[in-house]
């Protein structure tokens, strides 16, 4: 039996999980890979801690188990990159710093395969990384970078090769979904739910990327690359997060039998790709509405095989590590026959404001007769059909409006609001919230 040698760079939550799985079920993995899988070296600044947490022999750590300085760690890393013996490098340091970027480029240039969970790096600085892998005919395994344990990359790249992806959408950030679930089920305010998410270890100390849609955006960028062969940047996506969602919004959603979810959505229409990350009102008939807590879910609509859902854990130590180990087995099995990403396609990226959805528009007005007529007339002028109007919530002198439209564009709605503002300054007492409705 041949041997494939693995080194792990960074033995934290994910890297440690990888070492644990490779150690615990080594025989099974080798049998599946038809190749003996050997964990050869680990580079980690604090080996004792990692060794205890993940039950890994100290002897595997470069330096024999003593704490390393950054400089020492880097010397070991360079040694591993130049070694002829190592076949696959697992990068679980994380972040999109120049250090990690250059490290990945060096790994690929050395002719070694790279497996990583680093979505920020691949989404924001992936272009040259993928090109380097292509030039060197080595593989980048990044299953773990998109929705943790859910094998969505292999599903698109190997499971759906007989089909064309029409749209891909889903709940791809567990923290924000946990917060929204708490607000929905426990009637919590956003700030309290966020605090709880942090206490439960779901959100980072700085949870910005979780709640502002940035983390979900990284995953959507990678899925667009896979499904459509197109490079997009974060600026191309129209991203908004859940920071401004209130209990009142959750109530409006309930009124139309929907739940608010932070949704990633990309769709190809006549060669143009529309993509966005934003809170949407998911109707109860859509499976995504039933996805609660820190779970992730991806919905893929295909030309020939229709709608699919993949649901699973989007984060966690062994959960994410499992995807890395599966990539290792995949590379060991199929070697250089593996395709990293599809051939590059021409980039036709449409303005998200032209995205056609039914929308729910909510805002406050004064409690003044004639308001409904004026507002609905302004909306009608933009050729928007109205599904329902509800303004039965009066709070003192104020009235809460919620208007559900038939499918139209964000651009049309913005024009209608502009007209209301210019014709009747002062009629709108709050910034209108405009959320797509997902059936």
Annotated active-site positions, please? 219
Nearer to a second copy, 68 or 322 (CB): 322
Short-list 331, 363, 2, 359, CA closest to 140: 331
**Which range, of 30-38, 83-91, 420-428, 431-439, touches a second copy by CB under 8 A?**
30-38
Nearer to a second copy, 170 or 213 (CB): 170
The yes or no reply on residue 221 touching a second copy (CB under 8 A) is no
Smallest distance from a second copy to CB 75, Å: 30
Measured CA to CA, the distance from residue 172 to residue 176 in angstroms comes to 9
Site for a second copy in 251-310 (CB under 8 A): 287, 290, 302, 304-310
Tokens representing 311? 């649901």
Identify each DSSP E strand in 244-385 by its residue range. 258-269, 272-283, 295-302, 306-313, 356-357, 359-366
Nearer to a second copy, 147 or 428 (CB): 147
Helix/strand/coil for 196 = helix
Measured CA to CA, the distance from residue 102 to residue 81 in angstroms comes to 12
Site for a second copy in 62-81 (CB under 8 A): none
Smallest distance from a second copy to CB 163, Å: 5
Smallest distance from a second copy to CB 285, Å: 9
Smallest distance from a second copy to CB 26, Å: 11
Site for a second copy in 166-185 (CB under 8 A): none
Identify each DSSP E strand in 146-232 by its residue range. 165-171
Nearer to a second copy, 313 or 415 (CB): 313
Site for a second copy in 308-347 (CB under 8 A): 308-313, 316, 318-319, 321-330, 333-335, 337, 339, 342-343
> Does residue 260 come out as left (phi exceeding 0), alpha (psi in the -120 to 50 range) or beta?
beta
Measured CA to CA, the distance from residue 388 to residue 258 in angstroms comes to 14
Contact 260, 245 (CB under 8 A): yes
Tokens representing 53? 């947490």
Smallest distance from a second copy to CB 198, Å: 22
Short-list 67, 58, 61, 59, CA closest to 42: 61
Tokens representing 407? 């499918």
Nearer to a second copy, 72 or 319 (CB): 319
Q: Residue 336: which residues within 8 A CB-CB, separation 6 or more?
A: 137, 138, 139
Residues near a second copy (CB under 8 A):
17, 21, 25, 28-29, 31-34, 143, 148-151, 154-155, 158-164, 287, 290, 302, 304-313, 316, 318-319, 321-330, 333-335, 337, 339, 342-343
């Amino acid at each position: 039996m041949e041997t494939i040698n693995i080194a792990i760079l960074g033995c934290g939550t994910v890297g440690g999980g990888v070492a644990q799985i490779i150690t615990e079920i080594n025989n099974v993995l080798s049998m599946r890979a038809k190749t003996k899988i050997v964990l050869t070296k680990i580079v980690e600044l604090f080996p004792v801690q990692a060794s205890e947490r993940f039950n890994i022999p100290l002897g595997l750590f470069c330096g024999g188990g003593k704490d390393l300085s950054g400089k020492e760690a880097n010397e070991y890393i360079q040694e591993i990159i130049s070694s002829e013996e190592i076949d696959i490098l697992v990068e679980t340091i994380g972040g999109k710093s120049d250090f990690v970027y250059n490290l990945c480029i060096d790994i690929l240039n050395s002719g070694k395969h790279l497996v990583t969970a680093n979505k920020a790096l691949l989404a924001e600085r992936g272009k040259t990384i993928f090109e380097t892998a292509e030039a060197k005919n080595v593989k980048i395994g990044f299953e773990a970078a998109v929705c943790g344990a859910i094998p969505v990359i292999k599903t698109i790249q190997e499971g759906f090769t007989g089909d064309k992806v029409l749209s891909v959408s889903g709940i791809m950030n567990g923290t924000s979904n946990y917060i929204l679930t708490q607000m929905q089920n426990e009637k919590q305010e956003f700030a309290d739910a966020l605090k709880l998410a942090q206490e439960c270890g779901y959100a980072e100390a700085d949870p910005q990327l979780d709640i502002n849609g940035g983390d979900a955006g990284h995953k959507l960028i990678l899925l667009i690359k896979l499904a459509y062969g197109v490079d997009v940047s974060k600026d191309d996506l129209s991203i908004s997060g859940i920071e401004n969602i209130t209990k009142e919004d959750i109530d409006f959603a309930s009124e139309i039998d929907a739940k608010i979810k932070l949704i990633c959505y990309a769709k190809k229409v006549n060669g143009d790709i529309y993509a966005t990350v934003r809170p949407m009102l998911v109707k109860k008939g859509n499976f995504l509405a039933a996805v609660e807590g820190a779970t992730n879910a991806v919905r893929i609509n295909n030309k020939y095989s229709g709608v699919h859902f993949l649901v699973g854990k989007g984060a966690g130590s062994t959960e994410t590590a499992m995807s890395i180990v599966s990539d290792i087995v995949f590379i060991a099995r199929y070697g250089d026959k593996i395709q990293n990403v599809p051939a590059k396609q021409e980039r036709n990226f449409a303005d998200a404001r032209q995205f056609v959805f039914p929308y729910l528009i909510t805002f406050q007005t004064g409690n003044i007769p004639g308001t409904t007529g004026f507002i609905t007339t302004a909306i009608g002028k933009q050729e928007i059909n109205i599904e329902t109007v509800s303004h039965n919530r009066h709070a003192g002198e104020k009235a809460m409006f919620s208007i559900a439209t038939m499918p139209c564009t964000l651009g049309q709605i913005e024009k209608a609001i502009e007209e209301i503002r210019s014709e009747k300054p002062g009629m709108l007492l709050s910034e209108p919230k405009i959320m797509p409705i997902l059936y």
